[in-house]
Amino acid sequence: MKLKFKNTPEQVELIKAMGSKRPEVSREASEAFAAFIGPVIQQVLSQADTASAVYSDVVYDEDDNPSYPLDLFFEQRNADNYISVVQQNIAGGLPSSQIAGANELKVATYRLDAAVSFLKKYARRGRLDVVSKAVERMAQEVLVKQERNAWAVILKALSEGKGTGSSNGAHIVNNIGSTETFQLDTLNAIITRMKRINKSFAGGTAAQVYSEGITDLYVSPEVKQDIRAFSYSPVGNNAAQSLPNGAKEDAYRGAGLANIFGINIIDLQELGVGQKYNTLYETFSDSAGLAAAVSEAGATTTTAFDDSSSHEVIVGVDASREALIRPVARNSESGATFSALPDDQFSQRADKTGFYGSVEEGRVCIDARVLVGAHLKRS
């Protein structure tokens, strides 16, 4: 993420006015600058957030209590008409599974905020680079919190996915019997698993399935490495099996394949052996009791995901369905979802200025049938 303000006379004068030794001039300029950077940070957050591609925004007025009419989005699931929803009650908290009647869900939201400050002397000198870095830092601090909360809900819902059954782990393909690389067999099994968890409420073929299949597959850089190897190595359990020449050439020229079977392949630094999302998933899978493995053709089953230092998780998402939602508050005055204001904690003697900003949001999975995953053993 990199923010850079245009070096125009108007912006330079505004920055210099923020550093004025006259409190009324500095205050007025700071308020004008805060009103300017709020929408900028809002746009940056929406573009830099990896989870924004799978979450759908539901905007509500900041003084409202957001709710979601579940009965409009679910068919009859069982005799008791209950569904399981995963959400967080506080920022950074452990996502919890809530059993709700298929009528209306009250959504928990929380505020994510950040604050930055710098000496007024940099403003008086018109140092746009210093001011840009301060705003960039504020956006980064909010983004880190957003990402962690968003993926925590996804990983929790994945580990506790029951499909149309009653056991956790139904959304997982285990492929950790021996040290493995990512193969087309694994992806093929993931596609099959997605079909199986999208049965009708009666357990048969649905007239209109909830999910047609995953659109995006989130993997580690190591899995991307395995995919690049498709261009020069045999693929699959059979050494004689390989990709079509055209696909191998595309993988060679493009340093890997951007999509396979029409599924986008996206790598995240946070996934992979020893990485933070992998470790977080281990916590959730342990609490879900994933001792029983689920197998599909081409994926050997032996044990569950029990060691984030040698195993990794792959996450598939159907982003075409609005099952992952982000309720976000809209400021009644500005209409923006991110609000920035001058920080008034600094005295005249401190010769400092600063800003604080916040967004009120939540993260909710209302139907885990859009999620599927696989376990790989690396060592």
Q: What is the pLDDT of residues 255-288, one digit of tens each?
A: 767 888 889 999 999 999 989 999 999 888 887 7
- The position carrying tokens 């009666």 is 202
125 vs 176 pLDDT, higher one: 125
Q: What is the pLDDT of residue 76?
A: 47
Q: What is the pLDDT of residues 22-73, one digit of tens each?
A: 999 999 999 999 999 999 899 888 888 888 889 999 899 888 888 777 666 5
Q: What is the pLDDT of residues 30-43, one digit of tens each?
A: 999 999 999 989 98
For 102-121, the DSSP string reads: SS-EEPP-EEEEEEEEEEHH
**pLDDT at 177 > cutoff 60:** no
First to last CA, the chain: 34
CA atoms within 13 A on the CB side of 338: 24
Q: What is the pLDDT of residue 201?
A: 59
How does residue 242 score in pLDDT terms, banded at 50, 70 and 90? low
Contact 300, 322 (CB under 8 A): no
* Beta strand pairing call for 352-361 and 311-317: unpaired
Q: Stretch 308-331: mean pLDDT, rounded?
A: 88
How does residue 145 score in pLDDT terms, banded at 50, 70 and 90? very high
Q: What is the pLDDT of residue 119?
A: 95
Report the percent of the chain where pLDDT is more than 90.
39
* Beta strand pairing call for 67-68 and 371-377: unpaired
Which residues are CB-contacts of 150 (< 8 A; sequence separation ≥ 6)?
Answer: 49, 51, 55, 326, 363
Contact 378, 179 (CB under 8 A): yes
57: helix, strand or coil: strand
Q: What is the pLDDT of residues 87-116, one digit of tens each?
A: 777 777 767 766 555 567 788 889 999 999
Q: What is the pLDDT of residue 196?
A: 84
Dihedral angle sign, alpha carbons of residues 279, 283, 322, 295: positive
Q: What is the pLDDT of residues 281-290, one digit of tens each?
A: 988 888 776 6
Question: Which residue segments constitute the domains of the chain, with CATH numbers given?
Answer: 9-157+326-363 (3.30.2400), 169-321+367-377 (3.30.1930)
Q: Alpha-carbon distance 336 to 43, whole Å?
A: 10
Strand order in the sheet with 216-219: 172-175, 371-377, 311-317, 216-219, 263-267, 259-260
Contact 223, 314 (CB under 8 A): yes
Q: Stretch 137-157: mean pLDDT, rounded?
A: 93
16: helix, strand or coil: helix
Per DSSP (E only), the strands in 81-215 are: 82-87, 96-101, 105-106, 110-119, 172-175
Q: Alpha-carbon distance 200 to 77, whole Å?
A: 9
Query: Mean pLDDT of all residues in the chain?
Result: 81
Angle between helices 9-18 and 128-159 (to 10 degrees): 90
Q: Alpha-carbon distance 131 to 25, whole Å?
A: 18
